[in-house]
């Protein structure tokens, strides 16, 4: 089956620290991979995505590279800000079966302290 | 564009009452998803429509839950009767197309409805 595993949070960092949130996946096919972010009291927003192996998605200083050999899509940012405090969800989209439904990880809460 | 619109934003009701959540997808989008988010189970897909037709309702927890999409611009999720374990945040999301790789694969989420059943 299809599944996504994220590192458990919460993750607490100081401003300007380096961020890594690990994400690994299991998929029967060849999925696309996503990171969504949820700010307090809001819905999920797409942060970045990658649709094939070795693609790098990037946005707002965040990056993630689609690694097929390790089935991973780790999220990184070189210098976090207080405004990055949110919950981050890794997700995959497979293209068989149920016509492309997103499978989400459980989310990782990030708190950035000034 | 106003994005996905959900109403109400907050709903507090008593056990046994009927609850109706509403969603207006982004204009032109033809796929609509209902999700439920709880601390224990995370984000769960309840049901997915394509062109107003339910495609996958395997996530609907039980017969107390029903969802409809009478037209391309409106969907409802109904719980009757409601129970305390239904307390959660319910999200609606929409997407254009069929989720083709790299083109129409992004879902856009509404702000959610926080449901509390006492």
Q: Render pLDDT for B32-68 as a digit per residue (tens, 0 to 9).
A: 999 999 988 889 999 999 999 998 888 898 899 999 9
- E-strand ranges in chain A read 3-6, 11-14, 19-21, 23-26, 32-38, 44-50, 56-59, 62-65, 75-77, 86-93, 102-104, 108-113
Q: How confident is the model at residue A80 (pLDDT cuts 50, 70, 90)?
A: very high
- 3 state SS of B18: coil
Integer-rounded Cα Rg, in Å, for chain A is: 14
The CA distance from A11 to the nearest CA of chain B, in Å, is: 16
A3 inside 8 A of chain B by CB: no
Instruction: Indicate yes or no: CB of A51 within 8 angstroms of CB of B101.
Output: yes
C-alpha–C-alpha distance, residues B91 and B107, integer Å: 11
Q: Render pLDDT for B24-36 as a digit per residue (tens, 0 to 9).
A: 999 999 899 999 9
B90 inside 8 A of chain A by CB: no
CA angle B41, A109, A44 (to 5 degrees): 70
Is residue A22 within 8 A of residue A76, CB to CB? The reply is: no
Q: How confident is the model at residue B102 (pLDDT cuts 50, 70, 90)?
A: low
| A6 → chain B, closest CA residue | B42
B7 inside 8 A of chain A by CB: no
Instruction: Indicate yes or no: CB of B101 within 8 angstroms of CB of A45.
Output: no
C-alpha–C-alpha distance, residues A27 and A22, integer Å: 17
Is residue A100 within 8 A of residue A94, CB to CB? The reply is: yes
């Amino acid at each position: 089956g299809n599944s996504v595993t994220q590192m458990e949070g919460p993750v607490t960092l100081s401003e300007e620290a380096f961020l890594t949130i690990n994400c690994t996946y299991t998929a029967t096919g060849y999925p696309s991979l996503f990171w969504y972010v949820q700010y307090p009291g809001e819905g999920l927003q797409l942060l970045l995505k990658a649709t094939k192996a070795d693609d790098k998605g990037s946005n707002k200083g965040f990056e993630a590279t689609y690694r097929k050999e390790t089935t991973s899509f780790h999220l990184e940012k070189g210098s976090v800000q207080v405004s990055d405090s949110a919950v981050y969800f890794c997700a995959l989209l497979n293209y068989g079966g149920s016509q492309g439904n997103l499978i989400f990880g459980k989310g990782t809460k990030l708190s950035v302290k000034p | 564009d106003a994005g996905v619109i959900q109403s109400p934003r907050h709903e507090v009701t008593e056990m046994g009452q009927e609850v109706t959540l509403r969603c207006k997808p982004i204009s032109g989008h033809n796929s609509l998803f209902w999700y439920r988010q709880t601390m224990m189970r995370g984000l769960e897909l309840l049901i997915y429509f394509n062109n107003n037709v339910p495609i996958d309702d395997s996530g609907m927890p039980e017969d107390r839950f029903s969802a409809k999409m009478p037209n391309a611009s409106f969907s409802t999720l109904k719980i009757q009767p409601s129970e305390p374990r239904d307390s959660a945040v319910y999200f609606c999301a929409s997407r254009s197309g069929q989720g083709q790789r790299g083109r129409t694969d992004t879902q856009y989420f509404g702000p959610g409805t926080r449901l509390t059943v006492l």
